[in-house]
Structure 1
Amino acid sequence: MKLKEIYELAVKMGMESDPRGKEQVLKALEKEKKRYEKLSEKEKEEYDLENLTNPYSDTRVYLGDLEQEIHTALVGIDMEVGEVLLADRLTEKGTKIDLIITHHPEGSGIAKLYEVMHLQEDILHQLGVPINVAEGIMAPRIGEVKRGLMPLNHNRAIDAAKLLGFAFMSVHTPADNLVTTYLTNYFNEKKPETVGEVVDFLKELPEYKEATKIGAGPTIVVGAPERRCGKIFVDMTGGTSGSDEMFAKLSTTDVGTIVTMHISEKHKKEAEKHNINVVVAGHMASDSLGMNLWLDKLEENGIKVIATSGLIRVKR
């Protein structure tokens, strides 16, 4: 596969598994195109044209010729300078690495991570929160995340990869969409009745089974095993954690249990206050599941995948 085909496949699969539905995603792209047309010439010079065809600002090719044929990819959840050096060392030892793929974004992908958080507004609306309320509670949180990303050394790993001649890309929200949709369908099929059963069913999946062995598996952080789970909301996409105000809003809907990758203490306290059960499925395991669903397709197309940096590689 060519580098551009790998990238396009990630975007395509992300759109097809987007919780908003593909029609809504296409509407968002059309809206973005109209916004671009209204920009001044100076603003257009600064505009990332990928936004016109890719709705996920955290998924980008940072380095490499898009026409380059890729045979072997080194893939991990966090690919920093150490992992770039690992790619170079593997190449020196005879395993030539053509492409480094990180799940968590670098460069512009991390700098503009906040842009994908608007996805959460539509998800909350689907769950029964009025869209004006969803947008209202997300706006300050998106601003908070944007400001928090400003001081980062965004290009550190990319600069290292550039010096060593590696192609480098990230696949974030598409993979998170994949795991979100996969687990939503999984729970709809399994129909757990209690929070404990939610955890048990998660542990039947190999990524979570492996994570459990090292103490990083699914855990109930709010609620108890015997409590009825009610409607399950798989909250695993949209950039990063949303507004802590969502728990109050969700308590008026059918949502009884949230299954998430991780949760802050502030968010946990809000969940407790509003009697919403929370299962932390595990960060690396959940990210791995989402990436694996995409990586399987790469391997079907002849790409050799070498897993590292927290990626629990499981083939389906």
Structure 2
Amino acid sequence: MTLGEMYRFVLGEGMRVDPRGEEGLRKVLEGRRDAYGRLEEEERARYDTERLTNPYGDLRIVHGREGTEVRGLLVGLDPGPEEVVAAKVLKNSGERVDLLVSYSPCAFPSKVSLRDLVELRGEVLCRTGVPPGRARACFPSSEPEDRRAEDLARLLDVPVLTVGSV
């Protein structure tokens, strides 16, 4: 399986079981497409166009080429620079570690949309009876700034996939 195939599989499975349902996802993605259509050219150039087809702010290929063959994974809840180095060392030692998979997107902030993440998780909490104000208070209000793991993954050429919401 390639990195791109794995990403698309995880995205498809996440959408299949999403608590918002098919109609809810359609509305989210349509709203984003409409907003994108109203942007000025300069803003469009900076826009994360992946948001137009992927409703999850924390499901991203952080580093790596979609065609990279994946035969083995190193999976972490919140991997940091140490796990990036471990993935590289294991790979160089002959182990099948072709991809670092992260549940938490915080170590890889440049590809994460905190707004999308809070939107989904807040909606899920509200459906269970948590008031909207309290639901929003459960999540960080600013993007993480520590990019060491992400920078190291790029420098060492370690493919990384974040899969938090799915």
**Shorter chain as normaliser: what TM range?**
0.7 to 0.9
1:146 corresponds to which residue?
A: 141
Offset, 1:55: 0.5
The 5 Å alignment of 1:87-98 reads 87-98=87-98
Q: Which runs of 4+ in 1 moved over 3 A?
A: 120-129, 138-142
Counterpart residue type for residue 172 of structure 1? G
Distance 1:113 1:121, change over 3 A: closer
Choose the corresponding residue for 2:164, options 172, 177, 192. 172
Contact 1:58–1:108 (8 Å) recurs in 2:
no
Report 1:105-254 matches (<5 A).
105=105, 106-110=108-112, 112-123=113-124, 126-127=127-128, 134=132, 137=133, 141=137, 145-147=140-142, 149-150=143-144, 152-153=145-146, 155-174=147-166
Q: CA deviation at 1:70?
A: 1.5
Deviation at 1:79? 1.7
Q: Which residue in 2 is equivalent to 1:101?
A: 101
Structure of greater relative contact order (alpha carbons < 8 Å, 6+ residues apart): 2
- SS of alignment partner, residue 75 of structure 2: strand
Specify whether residues 122 and 50 from structure 1 end up closer, same or farther in structure 2 by C-alpha distance, changes over 3 A only: same
SS of residue matched to 1:161: helix
Distance 1:39 1:158 in 2: 29
Compared CA separation, residues 80 and 125, structure 1 to 2 (3 A): closer
* Structure 2 residue ranges without an equivalent (≥5): none
TM-score, normalising length from structure 2? 0.86
The amino acid that maps onto 1:31 is G
Larger Rg: 1
Is this contact kept in 1: 2:118–2:136, CA < 8 A?
no
Structure 1 SS opposite 2:89: helix
- CA distance change for structure 1 residues 146 and 122 in 2, over 3 Å: closer, same or farther? closer
CA distance 1:28–1:94, shift in 2 (3 Å): same
Q: Do the aligned residues in 2 keep the contact of 1:75 with 1:101 (CA within 8 Å)?
A: yes
Q: Deviations over 1:103-130 (max 9, x none)?
A: 11112245x324221224543554467x
Equivalent AA in structure 2 for residue 145 of structure 1: P
CA distance in 2, matches of 1:68, 1:4: 8
Structure 2 Cα separation of the partners of residues 24 and 7 of structure 1: 21
Question: Residues 60 and 171 of structure 1 are in contact (CA less than 8 Å); yes or no, is this contact kept in structure 2?
Answer: yes
Letter in 1 for 2:148: R
* One-letter code aligned to 2:97: I
Write the letter of the residue equivalent to 2:41: E
Please give the secondary structure, in 2, of the residue aligned with 1:62. Answer: strand
Give % identity: 34
Cα separation, 2, equivalents of 1:127 and 1:25: 19
2:68 matched to which residue of 1? 68
The 8 Å contact of residues 109 and 170 in structure 1, kept in 2 or not, is answered as no
Does structure 1 conserve the Cα–Cα contact (< 8 Å) formed by 2:126 and 2:135? Answer: no
Q: Give the secondary structure class of the aligned counterpart of 2:58.
A: coil
Provide the aligned length of Structure 1 versus Structure 2: 164
Cα 1:77–1:127 change in 2 (3 A) is closer
- 2:137 partner letter: R
Deviation, structure 1 residue 166: 1.4
RMSD: 2.3
How far apart are the structure 1 equivalents of 2:136 and 2:152?
34
> Does the C-alpha gap of structure 1 residues 168 and 114 become closer, same or farther in structure 2, counting only changes over 3 Å?
same
Report the TM-score, using the length of structure 1 for normalisation. 0.47
